[in-house]
Every structure is written in structure tokens, then in C-alpha cells.
Amino acid sequence: MTYKHLTTRELTLIADFWYQGTKAYRAAKLLQRSQETIYRVYRFLNDGKTIDQYLQTY
């Protein structure tokens, strides 16, 4: 299985889900992504970082 980077649109949606308090497993299902992928972004946001900073780590 190959790794597919998250798009800026997907990251924005994930951040919106996080701000709304949506559970990661629900966001994963809606975006058809792995739960671990969503959890990784949620943890990043929980550390007080931004989506812009997440994009710079790619």
C-alpha cells in the first residue's frame, strides 16, 4: 500500500472537525482515511500547533 499525502483541503477539514470536537474515528470515516492518519493530525493540533506548521513537516 502506498502512502498518499493529505491535501490542504483534507487538512483543513480535519482541523475543522477537531475544532468542532468531532471524534477522530468519525472524521476518518467521513474522509475515507485511516484513523491513525486523523489521530496524528489531532495530536499535532492538541500540541498547540497549526495546520500550516503541519504542512511544513511534509
pLDDT in tens, 12-28: 999 999 999 999 999 99
Q: Cell numbers 472537525 label which residue?
A: 17
pLDDT of residue 1: 52
Residue 32: HSE in the Cβ half-sphere, 13 Å Cα cutoff: 1
pLDDT of residue 3: 65
Q: Which amino acid is at 19?
A: Y
**Cα 11–Cα 49–Cα 10 angle in degrees, nearest 5:** 0
Residue 53: HSE in the Cβ half-sphere, 13 Å Cα cutoff: 10
- Higher-scoring residue by pLDDT: 34, 57: 34
pLDDT at 40 over 60: yes
Please report, rounded to a whole number, the percentage of residues in the chain having pLDDT higher than 90.
86
Annotated domain spans of the chain: 8-56
Say how far apart CA 24 and CA 36 lie, in whole Å. Answer: 9
pTM above 0.85, yes or no: yes
